[in-house]
């Protein structure tokens, strides 16, 4: 090897198993249908909505989807349905008007005391209901220069106590990058909490490896991981073990779900989700009403039905297993709680 070339931190001969899985996600509807043995009408891969936001499913998640069932609740979340092409009034590309809170690339600052760091634009999965599906990621560049600017923003605003790693999915970043971030943020005295919003323990449970747990355990921060799981079928033994490992590393585990038509809009599913989460050491935190994102209208559950579902949860679960039913309203300084 040329002695002048330093190997790039990601491209090595042997990737850690989780990065191998991440590099080999399923990226076409055809392949998804073939592997799952289903025949279902899809929005073609050439449609602008799919080209902009292609199919993306990692193998461990695929394994949780029932073969031969076109209605599987996990499949619904990743399948480009023809309904995405329906025009729906009031549904837009930037439903939360995030562009207005994007003071500079890489940072979203709309909540008091908390800043969202767009650490990466990449996700292990593409969720068809995602409100970030149209987000201008190209204006939010990764690369150490962009990251330094974001860190400077946090450094100069002493009201920021909590840094929320968002994205994209922050756990798609290699451990070495996270380590660098945590180190840099640890030099900012007013930051006391770190939060990660992620679907990786569900999508690629192997991601929660020893090195990551050690990194989180050894940092000076209080660490919160907000899992994004929508269905009890997503929480298999591997995901539960990943959560247990995080818990053992001192991480507070919460879950945020999105209420989705055809996925989890029935009381029994939501009750089982809360119970299954708690069995894995995760507290239900938020149940989110869908953001009105273009292409996602067919997932919408009405406020009335959402209220009824919440009431059913309250009647059947201890209070600590009932998440808050919330909606994100553009321009508000916090989520809006619906009763
Ligand atoms: C709501 C939300 C936050 C801020 O949430 P709080 O828990 O209310 O502080 C951060 N990140 C994401 C992705 C959210 O949805
Ligand atoms: S993992 Fe989160 S950010 Fe990524 S596509 Fe799914 S919902 Fe969107």
The residue contributing the CA closest to ligand 1 atom 1 is 335
CA of 69 to the centre of ligand 1 (A): 33
In this predicted structure, the answer to whether residue 272 has a pLDDT above a threshold of 80 is: yes
> Is residue 9 situated within a structural domain?
no
Question: If you write DSSP's letter for every residue of 137-179 in order, what string do you get?
Answer: GGGS--SHHHHHHHHHHHHH-TT--EEEEESS-GGGS-HHHHH
CA 266 to mean position of chain CA atoms? 22
Task: Please give the residue range of the domain that contains residue 267.
Answer: 18-337
CA of 45 to the centre of ligand 1 (A): 32
Distance between CA atoms of residues 171 and 168, nearest Å = 9
> Is residue 12 situated within a structural domain?
no
Ligand 1: atom nearest CA of 288 is 15
pLDDT 10s digits, 120-165: 889 999 999 997 777 655 445 456 677 888 999 999 999 999 999 9
Q: Is the CB of 324 under 6 A from ligand 1?
A: no
Domain count, the chain: 1
Distance between CA atoms of residues 239 and 61, nearest Å = 10
Model pTM score: 0.92
Task: Report pLDDT for 293.
Answer: 87
Distance between start and end Cα atoms, the chain: 64
> Is residue 310 situated within a structural domain?
yes
Lowest mean pLDDT of 139-148, 154-163, 283-292, 321-330, name the range. Answer: 139-148
Phi, psi at residue 58, to the nearest 5°? -80, 155
Task: Report pLDDT for 305.
Answer: 97
pLDDT 10s digits, 43-96: 999 999 999 999 999 999 999 999 999 999 999 999 999 999 998 888 888 777
Pocket test of ligand 1: the residue of 96, 115, 166, 332 to mutate, having most ligand atoms within 8 Å of its CB, is 166
Say what angle helices 175-186 and 144-156 make with each other, to 10 degrees: 30
Under the banding of pLDDT at 50, 70 and 90, the label for residue 2 is very low
> Is residue 98 situated within a structural domain?
yes
> Is residue 163 situated within a structural domain?
yes
Task: Report pLDDT for 154.
Answer: 96
Round the average pLDDT of the chain to a whole number and report it: 91
Task: Report pLDDT for 100.
Answer: 66
> Is residue 297 situated within a structural domain?
yes
CA of 106 to the centre of ligand 2 (A): 17
CA diameter of the chain: 67
Considering just the CA atoms, what is the radius of gyration of the chain in Å? Answer: 20
CA of 129 to the centre of ligand 2 (A): 8
Pocket test of ligand 2: the residue of 74, 135, 168 to mutate, having most ligand atoms within 8 Å of its CB, is 168
Distance between CA atoms of residues 125 and 261, nearest Å = 19
CATH number of the domain to which 274 belongs:
3.20.20.70
272 close to 231: Cβ distance less than 8 angstroms = no
Pocket test of ligand 1: the residue of 131, 135, 160, 164 to mutate, having most ligand atoms within 8 Å of its CB, is 164
14-34 average pLDDT score: 94
161-180 average pLDDT score: 94
Q: Which ligand is nearest to the CA of 332?
A: 1
> Is residue 77 situated within a structural domain?
yes
Task: Report pLDDT for 87.
Answer: 87
Task: Report pLDDT for 135.
Answer: 63
> Is residue 7 situated within a structural domain?
no
β partners of residue 104: 107
Task: Report pLDDT for 6.
Answer: 44
Q: Which two tokens stand for residue 193?
A: 């909490």
Ligand 2: atom nearest CA of 126 is 5
- Percentage with pLDDT > 70 across the chain: 90
Distance between CA atoms of residues 151 and 163, nearest Å = 10
Taking residue 331's Cβ as centre, other Cβ atoms within 10 Å add up to: 9
In this predicted structure, the answer to whether residue 39 has a pLDDT above a threshold of 60 is: yes
């Amino acid at each position: 090897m040329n002695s002048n070339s330093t190997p790039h931190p990601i491209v090595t001969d042997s990737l850690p198993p989780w990065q191998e899985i991440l590099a080999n996600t399923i990226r076409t509807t055809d392949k998804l249908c073939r592997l799952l043995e289903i025949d279902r009408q899809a929005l073609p891969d050439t449609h602008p909505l799919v080209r902009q936001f292609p199919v993306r499913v990692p193998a461990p998640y695929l394994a949780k989807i029932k073969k031969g069932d076109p209605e599987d609740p996990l499949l619904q979340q990743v399948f480009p349905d023809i309904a995405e092409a329906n025009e729906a009034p009031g549904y837009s590309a930037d439903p939360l008007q995030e562009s207005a809170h994007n003071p500079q690339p890489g940072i979203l600052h709309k909540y008091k005391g908390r800043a969202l760091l767009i650490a990466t634009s990449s996700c292990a999965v593409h969720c068809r209901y995602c409100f970030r599906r149209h987000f201008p990621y190209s204006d939010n560049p990764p690369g150490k220069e962009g990251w330094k600017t974001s860190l400077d923003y946090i450094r100069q605003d002493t009201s920021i106590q909590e840094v929320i790693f968002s994205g994209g999915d922050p756990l798609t970043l290699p451990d070495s990058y996270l380590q660098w971030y945590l180190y840099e943020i640890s030099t900012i005295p007013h930051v006391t909490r770190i939060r990660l919003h992620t679907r990786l323990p569900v999508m690629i449970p192997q991601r929660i490896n020893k090195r990551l747990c050690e990194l989180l355990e050894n940092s000076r921060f209080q660490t919160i991981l907000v899992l994004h799981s929508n269905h009890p079928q997503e929480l298999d033994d591997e995901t539960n073990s990943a959560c247990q490992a995080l818990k053992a590393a001192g991480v507070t585990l919460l879950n945020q779900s999105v209420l989705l038509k055809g996925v989890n809009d029935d009381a029994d599913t939501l009750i089982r989700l809360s119970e299954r989460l708690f069995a894995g050491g995760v507290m239900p935190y938020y149940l989110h009403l869908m953001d009105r994102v273009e292409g996602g209208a067919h997932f919408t559950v009405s406020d009335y039905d959402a209220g009824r579902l919440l009431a059913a949860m309250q009647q059947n679960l201890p209070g600590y297993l009932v998440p808050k039913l919330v909606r994100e309203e553009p321009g508000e300084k916090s989520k809006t709680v619906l009763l």
